[in-house]
Structure 1
Amino acid sequence: MNVNDLKIVLKVAEQKSIKQAAESMDLLVATASAAVKRVETSLGVTLFQRSTRKLKITSAGEQALSQLAQAVALLNQVEQQSKHMLGTIEGEIRLSAPSDLGRNILLEWLDAFMDSYSKVSLKLHVSDSNVDFYRAPLDVALRYIPYNNESVYGFKICDVPRVVCASPAYLAQCGRPEHPSDLTSHNSLLYELKGTLHHAWTFTRNGEKFPVRVGGNRAANDADLVRRWCVSGKGIAMKSALDMSTDLLSGRVVPILQEFTAPPTELWLICPSRQLITPAIRKLREHLTQHCQHLLDSMRVQGLIR
Structure 2
Amino acid sequence: MLRLDDLQVFVRTAERGSLSAAARELDVSPAVASAALKRLEAALQTRLFARSTRSLRLTAEGELFLAHARASLQSLEDGRQLLAGGRSEIAGVLQVSAPSDLGRNVLLPWFDEFQAQHPRLQLRLLISDRQADLYRQPVDVAIRLGQPPDSSLVALPLAADNRRVLCGAPAYFARHGRPQQPDDLLRHNCLLYMLAGRAHERWSFADGKRSQVVTVSGDRICDDADVVRRWAVAGRGLVYKSWLDVAADVRAGRLEVVLADYQGEPAPLNLFCTHRAQLSRPVTLLREFIQQRCAELQRERPWR
| TM-score using structure 2 length | 0.88
- Partners of 2:171 and 2:99 lie apart in 1 by 28
Relative to structure 1, the CA distance from residue 50 to residue 146 in structure 2 (aligned partners, 3 Å threshold; closer, same or farther) is: closer
Q: Is this contact kept in 1: 2:46–2:61, CA < 8 A?
A: no
Query: Secondary structure of the residue that 1:93 maps to in structure 2?
Result: strand
- Partners of 1:172 and 1:146 lie apart in 2 by 36
Relative to structure 1, the CA distance from residue 285 to residue 150 in structure 2 (aligned partners, 3 Å threshold; closer, same or farther) is: same
Letter of the structure 1 residue corresponding to residue 157 of structure 2: K
Q: Is this contact kept in 1: 2:263–2:303, CA < 8 A?
A: no
Structure 1 residue 57 and structure 2 residue 57: aligned? yes
Q: Is this contact kept in 2: 1:203–1:263, CA < 8 A?
A: yes
**What is the aligned partner in structure 2 of residue 105 from structure 1?**
106
Unaligned runs of 5+ in 1: none
**4+ residue runs over 6 A deviation:** none
Q: Is this contact kept in 2: 1:77–1:277, CA < 8 A?
A: no
**What is the aligned partner in structure 1 of residue 34 from structure 2?**
33
Relative to structure 1, the CA distance from residue 295 to residue 143 in structure 2 (aligned partners, 3 Å threshold; closer, same or farther) is: same
**What is the aligned partner in structure 2 of residue 281 from structure 1?**
283
Q: Is this contact kept in 1: 2:94–2:140, CA < 8 A?
A: yes
Q: Is this contact kept in 1: 2:163–2:242, CA < 8 A?
A: yes
Q: Any idea what the Cα deviations from partners look like across 1:210-253, whole Å, max 9, x if unmatched?
A: 22110111112221111111111111000001111221111111
Unaligned runs of 5+ in 2: none
Give the superposition deviation at 1:82. 6.4
- Partners of 1:177 and 1:68 lie apart in 2 by 51
**What is the aligned partner in structure 2 of residue 83 from structure 1?**
81
Q: Is this contact kept in 2: 1:190–1:197, CA < 8 A?
A: yes
- Partners of 2:246 and 2:95 lie apart in 1 by 25
**What is the aligned partner in structure 2 of residue 241 from structure 1?**
243
Q: Is this contact kept in 1: 2:193–2:224, CA < 8 A?
A: yes
Relative to structure 1, the CA distance from residue 296 to residue 69 in structure 2 (aligned partners, 3 Å threshold; closer, same or farther) is: closer
**What is the aligned partner in structure 2 of residue 162 from structure 1?**
164
Give the superposition deviation at 1:264. 2.3
Residue 69 (structure 2) aligned to one of 54, 68, 71: 71
Relative to structure 1, the CA distance from residue 20 to residue 253 in structure 2 (aligned partners, 3 Å threshold; closer, same or farther) is: same
Q: Any idea what the Cα deviations from partners look like across 1:122-165, whole Å, max 9, x if unmatched?
A: 11111223343211221111111159x99863321112132100
Relative to structure 1, the CA distance from residue 152 to residue 20 in structure 2 (aligned partners, 3 Å threshold; closer, same or farther) is: closer
- Partners of 1:139 and 1:102 lie apart in 2 by 16
Give the superposition deviation at 1:66. 3.0
Query: Secondary structure of the residue that 1:160 maps to in structure 2?
Result: coil
- Partners of 1:221 and 1:181 lie apart in 2 by 25
Q: Which moved more, 1:168-177 or 1:87-96?
A: 87-96
- Partners of 1:48 and 1:266 lie apart in 2 by 36
- Partners of 2:151 and 2:34 lie apart in 1 by 43
- Partners of 1:82 and 1:305 lie apart in 2 by 47
Residue 190 (structure 1) aligned to one of 181, 189, 192: 192
Letter of the structure 2 residue corresponding to residue 162 of structure 1: R
Give the superposition deviation at 1:286. 0.9
Letter of the structure 1 residue corresponding to residue 120 of structure 2: K
Which runs of structure 2 are paired with 1:5-24 in the superposition (5 Å)? 5-24=6-25
Relative to structure 1, the CA distance from residue 245 to residue 151 in structure 2 (aligned partners, 3 Å threshold; closer, same or farther) is: farther
Q: Is this contact kept in 2: 1:81–1:279, CA < 8 A?
A: no
- Partners of 1:73 and 1:230 lie apart in 2 by 42
- Alignment RMSD: 2.5
Q: Which moved more, 1:114-123 or 1:276-285?
A: 114-123
- Partners of 2:147 and 2:267 lie apart in 1 by 5
- Partners of 2:212 and 2:193 lie apart in 1 by 20
Relative to structure 1, the CA distance from residue 32 to residue 170 in structure 2 (aligned partners, 3 Å threshold; closer, same or farther) is: same
**What is the aligned partner in structure 2 of residue 256 from structure 1?**
258
Q: Which moved more, 1:151-160 or 1:162-171?
A: 151-160
| TM-score using structure 1 length | 0.88
**What is the aligned partner in structure 2 of residue 217 from structure 1?**
219
- Partners of 1:164 and 1:195 lie apart in 2 by 22
- Partners of 1:286 and 1:49 lie apart in 2 by 39
Query: Secondary structure of the residue that 2:125 maps to in structure 1?
Result: strand
Equivalent pairs counted in the alignment come to 298
Give the superposition deviation at 1:68. 4.0
Relative to structure 1, the CA distance from residue 261 to residue 68 in structure 2 (aligned partners, 3 Å threshold; closer, same or farther) is: closer
Relative to structure 1, the CA distance from residue 109 to residue 84 in structure 2 (aligned partners, 3 Å threshold; closer, same or farther) is: farther
Q: Is this contact kept in 2: 1:81–1:278, CA < 8 A?
A: no
Relative to structure 1, the CA distance from residue 17 to residue 108 in structure 2 (aligned partners, 3 Å threshold; closer, same or farther) is: same
- Partners of 2:69 and 2:191 lie apart in 1 by 44
Q: Which moved more, 1:283-292 or 1:28-37?
A: 28-37
Q: Which moved more, 1:261-270 or 1:30-39?
A: 30-39
